[in-house]
Amino acid sequence: MTVNFQIEPGGRLSGALRVPGDKSVSHRAVMLGALAEGRTEVTGFLTGEDCLCTMRAFQAMGVRIEAVSPSHLIIHGVGLHGLQAPAHALDLGNSGTSMRLMAGLLAGQRFESTLTGDASLSRRPMGRVIEPLQRMGARIESQEGRAPLRILPVDGLQGIRFESPVASAQIKSCLLLAGLYAQGRTEVHEPEASRDHTERMLRAFGVTLEARPGYAALQGGQRLSGTRIEVPADISSAAFYMAGAAMTPGSDVTLTDVGVNPTRTGIIEVLRRMGADITLVNPREFGAEPVADIRVRGAQLQGVEIGRDLVAASIDEFPIIFVAAAAARGTTVVSGAEELRVKESDRIQTMCDGLRTLGIDAEARPDGMRVEGGTLQSGTIDSHGDHRVAMSFAMAALHAQGTISILDCANVDTSFPGFAELARQAGLRITVGRGV
Instruction: Fill in the DSSP letter of residue 91.
Output: E
Q: Where are the beta strands (DSSP E) in 215-366?
A: 215-219, 228-230, 252-259, 277-286, 289-297, 305-306, 331-334, 362-365
pTM for the structure as a whole: 0.93
- Point out which residues pair with 125 in neighbouring strands: none
pLDDT given at position 342: 86
Strand 305-306 relative to strand 331-334: parallel, antiparallel, unpaired?
parallel
Which residues have a Cβ under 8 Å from the Cβ of 405 and sit 6 or more positions away?
Answer: 4, 5, 6, 7, 379, 380, 381
CB 230 within 8 A of CB 43: yes
CB 15 within 8 A of CB 426: yes
pLDDT given at position 419: 97
Nearest-CA neighbor of 415 among 150, 197, 233?
Answer: 233
Averaged pLDDT, 214-233: 97
Q: What is the pLDDT of residues 25-34, one digit of tens each?
A: 999 999 999 9
Q: What is the pLDDT of residues 81-127, one digit of tens each?
A: 999 999 999 999 999 999 999 999 999 999 999 999 999 899 999 99
pLDDT given at position 114: 98
Nearest-CA neighbor of 94 among 136, 167, 147?
Answer: 147
- Point out which residues pair with 432 in neighbouring strands: 5
pLDDT given at position 1: 79
Q: What is the pLDDT of residues 245-291, one digit of tens each?
A: 999 999 999 999 999 999 999 999 999 999 999 999 999 999 889 99
Reported confidence tier of residue 436, pLDDT bands at 50, 70, 90? low
Taking CA atoms, 188 is separated from 87, 203, 333, 435, in Å, by 33, 17, 31, 46
| Active site amino acids | 316
User: Would the pLDDT of 432 be above 70?
Assistant: yes
Strand 64-69 relative to strand 90-91: parallel, antiparallel, unpaired?
unpaired
Do you know the residue count of the chain? 436
Q: What is the pLDDT of residues 297-339, one digit of tens each?
A: 999 999 999 999 899 889 999 999 999 999 999 999 999 999 9
Considering the domain 23-230 in this protein, what is its CATH number?
A: 3.65.10.10
Q: What is the pLDDT of residues 36-66, one digit of tens each?
A: 999 999 999 999 999 999 999 999 999 999 9
Largest interatomic CA distance in the chain: 62
Strand 14-17 relative to strand 252-259: parallel, antiparallel, unpaired?
parallel
Ramachandran bin of 79, using left for φ above 0, alpha for ψ from -120 to 50, beta for the remaining angles: left
Averaged pLDDT, 209-217: 97
Summary count for the chain: helices (H), strands (E): 13, 26
CATH topology of domain 2-21+232-435: UDP-n-acetylglucosamine1-carboxyvinyl-transferase; Chain (3.65.10)
Averaged pLDDT, 133-144: 97
d(C-alpha 235, C-alpha 337), whole Å: 19
Reported confidence tier of residue 182, pLDDT bands at 50, 70, 90? very high
Side chain identity at 321, as an amino acid letter?
I
3-state secondary structure of 218: strand
Nearest-CA neighbor of 354 among 327, 328, 322, 329?
Answer: 322
Side chain identity at 145, as an amino acid letter?
G
Nearest-CA neighbor of 387 among 248, 256, 183, 234?
Answer: 234
Averaged pLDDT, 162-171: 95
d(C-alpha 49, C-alpha 95), whole Å: 8
Reported confidence tier of residue 184, pLDDT bands at 50, 70, 90? very high
Nearest-CA neighbor of 69 among 16, 18, 21, 19?
Answer: 21
CATH 3.65.10.10 domain range(s) in the chain:
2-21+232-435, 23-230
Q: Where are the beta strands (DSSP E) in 330-412?
A: 331-334, 362-365, 368-372, 379-382, 404-407
